[in-house]
Amino acid sequence: MLCGCGKMGQALLRGWIKHLSDIGINAITIIEPNLAEMADLPDHPLITYWDSPDKADSQQNPDMIVLASKPQDMAEAIAGVKPLAGAQTAWLSIAAGISINWLSEHLNGHQQVIRTMPNTPSALGMGVTAMAYHAMLTAQNQTLAFDLMASVGEVVEVGENLMDAVTAVSGSGPAYIFLMQEAMEAAAIKMGLSEDVARKLSVSTIRGAGELMRVSQEKPAQLRQNVSSRGGTTLAALEVMMTNGRMADMMEEAMLAARNRSKELGQ
């Protein structure tokens, strides 16, 4: 069961659809209050959509309920779907800031709780999810949670105390890259390139650089230096971004803001 089908919920759903048989899913029930306002939702014979938990089969007893509601809506979302859960149902949250203890308390002390932070490339099977577990989570539910998230990308296990930092790195991270592409494209257009060419050049460059970092044995700093000939064009650009730690300081400040906001959401 998926509770909440906004941007992140849809990203996960589109990724899961490609691997239903691999992870042993025989049905997915979606609970989304704003269902009528949503377009282009995935259509699949194993998926059922409802705009209210009251309309779903009260005997569902799902193996897992994935909580994809916004942090500020989480208490209401849990209260709505809790009657559909069974004693052994595991609960997996993707909400920033919401702690395992908070979830357990709102589930009447239930211990089968997993906290995760995925990201939107999960829709393409290229996501990455950080995961932390309740200390009493069963091995069976741990495997179920891992397999579910691994079907849409990589999974890393971290201590829950690091989940806010994870949110700042990979949870919010795609938006940093999108912003960089926007800036590159806009600058290219100002220099005379057409919108189409500017977009293709910037998007393909980011995609290729990301793949090169993934497969290379060299560190990103070395890959950067490999492109930076003394007195060349790349170094001229990098000097603008790196003078007095300009780029590094801005990124650190931005990520600290994301981490701190994640902490605030959990209070």
User: What was the pLDDT predicted at 39?
Assistant: 83
Contact 70, 39 (CB under 8 A): no
For residue 27, name the pLDDT band (cuts at 50, 70, 90): confident
243 and 114 in a common domain: no
Residue type, 35: L
Q: Same structural domain for residues 181 and 140?
A: no
Residue 267 has pLDDT above 90, yes or no: no
| Angle between helices 233-242 and 246-265 in degrees, nearest 10 | 50
What is the pTM for the complete model shown? 0.89
* 184, part of any domain: yes
Contact 106/78 with Cβ under 8 angstroms? Answer: yes
Q: What is the CATH number of the domain that holds 246?
A: 1.10.3730.10
* DSSP designation for 219: -
Q: Count up the domains in the chain and report the number.
A: 2
Rounded CA-CA distance 173/168 in Å is 7
On whether both 118 and 150 belong to a single domain, the answer is: yes
Lowest mean pLDDT among 56-65, 94-103, 155-164: 56-65
Q: Per-residue pLDDT tens for 30-81?
A: 999 998 888 888 888 989 999 988 887 766 789 999 999 999 999 999 999 9
User: What is d(CA 217, CA 227) in angstroms, rounded to the nearest whole number?
Assistant: 16
Nearest to 124 by CA among 219, 229, 233, 210: 210
Residue 20's pLDDT is what? 82
Angle formed by the axes of helices 173-190 and 195-215, nearest 10°: 140
User: What are the pLDDT digits (tens) for 107-136?
Assistant: 999 999 999 999 999 999 999 999 999 999
Residue range(s) defining the domain that contains residue 125: 2-160
Q: In the prediction, which pLDDT does 61 show?
A: 83
Q: For 190-201, how does the pLDDT look when each residue is reduced to its tens digit (9 = 90+)?
A: 999 999 999 999
In a domain, 195, yes or no: yes
Co-location of 53 and 133 in the same domain: yes
Lowest mean pLDDT among 4-13, 14-23, 205-214, 225-234: 14-23
Average pLDDT of the chain? 93
Give the count of beta carbons closer than 10 Å to the beta carbon of residue 182. 12
Handedness of CA 93, 98, 101, 105 (dihedral sign): negative
Residue where one domain finishes, among candidates 118, 134, 160: 160
Structure-token pair, residue 196: 């189409």
179 with 144, same domain? no
